[in-house]
Amino acid sequence: MLDHIKIGNILFLDIETVPAFANYQNMPESLKLLWDRKASFITKEDKTPEELYNRAGIYAEFGKIICISTAMLGIKENSRMLKLKSFFSDNEKEILSGISDLITRISLKREIELCAHNGKEFDFPYIARRMLINGISLPSLLDISGKRPWETRLLDTMDMWKFGDHKHYTSLNLLAEIFNIESPKSDIDGSKVQSVYWIDKDIPRIVDYCRRDVIAMVQLVLRFKGEELLRPEEISILDNMADFKQTG
């Protein structure tokens, strides 16, 4: 499976997002009115917009990115090394500028593809929307307006697993379990990221979680291709959490 995909030319990525404000009350009144309207369409449950605000992070108009983890697999003869780089900050524009520069820099050297789990529905459009909101020009890989599906270079591990079934959603955690890959959810899951960021102020914990998602994605593609999983010694982390100081 996936013989046509050169895994060494894939930049894997995963994003972590939170509501743009710590709580509903902190929102500007003008934005709060727009969230109230959005919330009325989110669920049929009898919940107020304030009670639903914990979901705001999944919408690019009301959320922000706090971490993007990336990985590329270097292959040389019989040697493999997965290099991970994470962009994390309280300043979203710094994160988006960093990932934009990385994509552009690598694209100058080789023709790459981007890959994320459920990326076509979430990660890729979210990144693109937040870049525009922050006044950052889109890298050509994310500037897909007017392009046909086969003209884009965006891969999605969930799409790979669908085999054309448009009704089927499968989490990365479930795929990791059935393919005997170390679970990326051993500490926290997506539902806890908001409180870990805004209440605990523990972004290193979020970055670690985001990295594990990316590693699981790479391992999954290796399994899809019938190749051996990476060993711990074949994984290298390039960024240093000790350099980060969270504000607020």
DSSP assignment of the chain:
--TT--GGGEEEEEEEEEESSSSGGGS-HHHHHHHHHHHHHH-SSS--TTTTGGGGGGSTTTEEEEEEEEEEEEEETTEEEEEEEEEE-S-HHHHHHHHHHHHHHHHHHS--EEEETTTTTTHHHHHHHHHHHTT-PPPTTT--TT--GGG--EEEHHHHHHTT-TT----HHHHHHHTT---TTSS--GGGHHHHHHTS--HHHHHHHHHHHHHHHHHHHHHHTT-PPPPGGGEEE---GGG-----
Instruction: Write out pLDDT tens, residues 122-165.
Output: 999 999 999 999 999 999 999 998 888 778 899 999 999 998 88
Q: Domains in the chain, ordered, with CATH?
A: 7-20+62-230 (3.30.420.10)
Average confidence (pLDDT) over 8-31: 97
pLDDT at 1: 66
pLDDT band for 245, please (50, 70, 90 cuts).
very low
Mean pLDDT (the chain, rounded): 91
pLDDT band for 2, please (50, 70, 90 cuts).
confident
Q: Lowest mean pLDDT: which of 32-36, 79-83, 184-188, 230-234?
A: 184-188
pLDDT at 145: 86
% of the chain beyond a pLDDT of 90: 77
